[in-house]
Amino acid sequence: MHKMKILLLEDEQAIAETIIYAFESDGFSVSHVNTCQAAEQRLRNEAFDFGIFDVGLPDGTGFDLCKEVRTFSQIPILFLTARAEEIDRVVGLEIGGDDYVTKPFSPRELVARVKAILRRTNMAPEQSTPPEATTGFTHNAQKCLFLFHGKNLELTKAEYQLLRALHSQPERVFNRDQLLTEISDDYGAAMDRVIDAHVKAIRAKLRNAGAPDLIETRRGLGYAYNPAVL
């Protein structure tokens, strides 16, 4: 069985050892680095399933590293920091992070949070789904891409997460609250229109790729993925 690989960026050795022990006891494989430069090199050259980044580091911040990583990878990222200000949490999520944990923290809670994110992002061991029948519509889970006859839809992170959730359970109706949790745990008071806007953008990108409208609107209920139109 594939062992999930985590890259841990933490410059405090005692904290790193505690985290490594907690995750390896739960069946994960953890690689530890203590600088942003080393983390970026590892992420560019190796395949990881998850990144845990300390925010304050000797050669930069976990936020800066996250922005750089998002130019070439969509792996889930969780931030560790001693700062609890709401603005820091918001910034971390807006630049592409998936969660934020303030020190001191429980290692068991950290493991639980990572597992929850992995479940939500479908990063558990899986193969890319093949083209549906011979329709040409393809989901490449490892590269986080949807393609139609080889043409990348070029979805944003939130659009990809939303379409992936719908695609994972054809014809199931998701309400807007359920879809909000698929694209973020921290939307707070976000309005339903957030989901409507993302669906509109996905539909436009499907049209641009020559694909049919695969998202069915169920009035008063939500949205569903409809493979029958392919």
3-state per-residue secondary structure call for 134-149: CCCEEEECCCCEEEEC
User: What pLDDT, on the 0 to 100 scale, is given for residue 178?
Assistant: 82
Q: Where are the alpha helices (DSSP H) in 47-174?
A: 62-69, 86-94, 107-120, 157-168
- Where in the sequence is the domain holding 170, given as residue range(s)? 137-229
CATH number, domain with residue 45: 3.40.50.2300
What is the C-alpha radius of gyration for the chain, rounded to an integer number of angstroms? 19
User: What pLDDT, on the 0 to 100 scale, is given for residue 128?
Assistant: 41
Single residue among 85, 120, 155 that ends a domain in this structure: 120
User: What pLDDT, on the 0 to 100 scale, is given for residue 98?
Assistant: 84
List the structure tokens of 174: 């998701």
Domain count for the chain:
2
For residues 77 and 17, what is the distance between their CA atoms, to the nearest angstrom?
A: 19
**Is residue 78 domain-shared with residue 16, that is, in the same domain?**
yes
Single residue among 93, 120, 147 that ends a domain in this structure: 120
**Is residue 74 domain-shared with residue 155, that is, in the same domain?**
no
For residues 85 and 176, what is the distance between their CA atoms, to the nearest angstrom?
A: 29
User: What pLDDT, on the 0 to 100 scale, is given for residue 125?
Assistant: 40
For residues 23 and 25, what is the distance between their CA atoms, to the nearest angstrom?
A: 5
pLDDT 10s digit of each residue in the chain, 230 long?
567 899 999 999 999 999 999 999 999 999 999 999 999 999 998 889 999 999 889 999 999 999 999 888 888 999 998 766 555 566 666 777 888 888 888 898 899 989 988 887 764 444 444 445 457 888 888 788 899 988 999 998 889 989 998 988 888 898 888 888 777 644 444 456 788 889 999 999 999 999 999 999 998 889 999 988 87
For residues 77 and 87, what is the distance between their CA atoms, to the nearest angstrom?
A: 18
pTM (global) more than 0.85:
no
**Is residue 115 domain-shared with residue 144, that is, in the same domain?**
no
Closest by CA position to 39, among listed 85, 1, 72, 4: 72
CATH number, domain with residue 202: 1.10.10.10
Closest by CA position to 159, among listed 105, 116, 126, 208: 208
